[in-house]
A and B are shown apart, each in its own frame.
Chain A
């Protein structure tokens, strides 16, 4: 029994462990390079560990990890579902559906057409060209939500483009499944494998079952989970129920032949919309579980890529697929956004955000390899394997290029860092970003009258006393002044700033991280800190002023997003008005 267990499970544990550790290290390395998102790091490590590289993750290991892959897709679906708030859909619903159809169908048509041409040229068969064009075209419409959304989270983006990307990548899977269902069934009939059996109508029925069944299962489970979580607030219990329900939905959908991502997406969406506030905690719990799952998922994606098996003409096929798909995504989202009168940033940059492909595309390709193998071959290559190899090879390319393009797009759209919190700012800012650079200061010889006069004029409770070359000699606090103000006025003539000042208990450098400086202030219960360069004063860090600046910055960025949306809306209204007048 034990030997059995060791024989079956130990190697896979080793493989999983190696994939996690190496994936994590790879991401760290790529994070240092900054330009390339961390998912690319995971995928490259997967490539190195897979059969293209060292062969640590071989085919048997991959098939053992299939279940895990399904689970990871489920988790990704759940997290994306959490981002889909109904009020956003109510606001943009029609717009998004128009863009989705345009970009999905354009990618399908263009990628399909180019694949058809290459296949026709290689095989001389129109039928094979149509079959392969249909299947690869349908797969071309899919976009990887995880890799795309990861870049948005990493860059704390917010704005019309971000909202559009979230909505489009979330619904993209549904469209890809629909197109693929129809395409695979036609292709199966054309090449004589007819995997789904029963012809077009039955195939369409099956697709409808896959989609609507998944949404129904997810939504019903979401209602149930919400009801359970109402009575179970504490962290440990909540985690058990969330994980349990997610596995039930993933397992249920998998067993019933429904789409796993759609099912968990519906689960996440239901929970997020029923209790918007409490569900933040629910998603927080899954988010904390998610990193190792994501790492493993992308490492597996990388390890599936077997670039060595690709021969010359197959690279042409892959190129046709990538070029057609890229052109389709760019053109389709531009046209869709134009028709839908979306914001200009959406029109200009949405296409660039839709290049990534991973789980769903590979999943569909695996499905195609099962449905289309065993029929006609091209140059000795099974049609199904051809689809799988093309998609896996191009996945590698778009997974590297895709996230980088998303990064460029959100930068150009000016949405980076707009979804920022106080903690993010604290991590980014130094003391010099918030300090008062030219604070009111006293000379050691300043009389008591001058000091009290300054107290009335300045909005501050602490005065630095500066000697030659702005050297900080000491500080006068309200408490120091109060000691003198409580005495008879007769002695005030005796006092100058030098008599009242005290050496500062703490000082800070301008380059000190703000978080560290504020922690010192909290620990020492200080309201302000002198900022020094050498022994010269360069500014004052004031607690009230810092809080105000942090608030202002968060507010400013939110305003910027709102302003941009408002400006876009106005521009569209003016354009529509002009068009109306021109028609009249």
Chain B
């Protein structure tokens, strides 16, 4: 599974130190524009999912994700925040620096799961995470995310 099929450099946003609300809203807006759907619907879905359990999986990573019938193809957006998001409520209570929002069509269950697994795999490497946080523009982040994919 190759991430470039689901991610474009335009969908990578760079943030200064900020809040969870701001990051998730802006990522949702960016993705809604790409997918040509109502951004409010996407934002509501993302927050409804967060309300069940935080998607901060530790190691400075957050992977908010939703399945929606309005979404016609699986797509993702990445938020890079070297300053950290302090209110993300990760399972290890650490600040989140990388947030990857994934939206998939309601019927694409297996693809959705595989995409989540792929993102978790790619970000498992500490060196890659540090290199991404040190990057200065979205294109560099894009290259780092796609580098050495299996």
Contact = CB atoms under 8 A, between A and B. Distances in A.
B73 interface: no
Interface in A459-493: 480, 483-484, 487-488, 490-491, 493
A503 B121 CA distance: 28
Contacts of A445: 52-53
Contacts of A496: 52-53
B75 interface: no
A480 B109 contact: yes
Interface residues of B, number: 21
Contacts of B110: 483
A476 B109 CA distance: 11
A493 B53 CA distance: 10
Contacts of B57: 490-491, 493-494
A494 B55 contact: yes
Given A488-B117, A490-B124, A491-B116, A498 B49 contact: yes
Interface string B52-66: 110101100001010
A577 interface: no
Contacts of A495: 113, 116
Nearest to B117: A487
A447 interface: yes
Given A490-B124, A493-B91, A484 B113 contact: yes
B120 interface: yes
B126 interface: no
Contact of B120 (A447, A483, A491): A491
Interface string B21-57: 0000000000000000000000000000100110101
A502 interface: yes
Q: Which of B55, B114, B120 has the most chain A CB atoms closer than 10 A to its own CB?
A: B120
Nearest to B90: A493
The number of chain A residues touching the other chain, given as a range, is 10 to 19
Contacts, number: 52
Contacts of B121: 488, 490-491
Given A493-B58, A494-B55, A496-B52, A502 B117 contact: no
Contacts of B67: 499
A444 interface: yes
B53 A447 contact: yes
Interface in A497-518: 498-500, 502-503
Nearest to B113: A483
A483 B108 CA distance: 12
Q: Which of B53, B91, B120 has the most chain A CB atoms closer than 10 A to its own CB?
A: B53
Contacts of A444: 52
B120 A499 contact: no
Contact of A494 (B65, B106, B109, B124): B65
Contact of A498 (B52, B106, B113, B117): B52
B11 to A, nearest CB: 20
B60 to A, nearest CB: 14
B83 to A, nearest CB: 24
B135 to A, nearest CB: 23
A444 B63 CA distance: 18
Interface in B98-150: 106, 109-110, 112-114, 116-117, 120-121, 124
A447 B65 CA distance: 15
Contacts of A480: 109
Given A484-B113, A487-B113, A494 B52 contact: no
Contact of B117 (A491, A500, A503): A491
Interface of B: 49, 52-53, 55, 57-58, 63, 65, 67, 91, 106, 109-110, 112-114, 116-117, 120-121, 124
5 contacts: A490-B57, A490-B120, A491-B117, A493-B57, A498-B52
Name the 8 nearest CB pairs between A and B, nearest first.
Answer: A487-B117, A491-B120, A445-B52, A491-B117, A483-B113, A493-B57, A483-B110, A490-B120
Given A445-B53, A494-B65, A496-B52, 8 more contacts: A480-B109, A487-B113, A488-B117, A488-B121, A491-B117, A491-B121, A493-B58, A502-B109
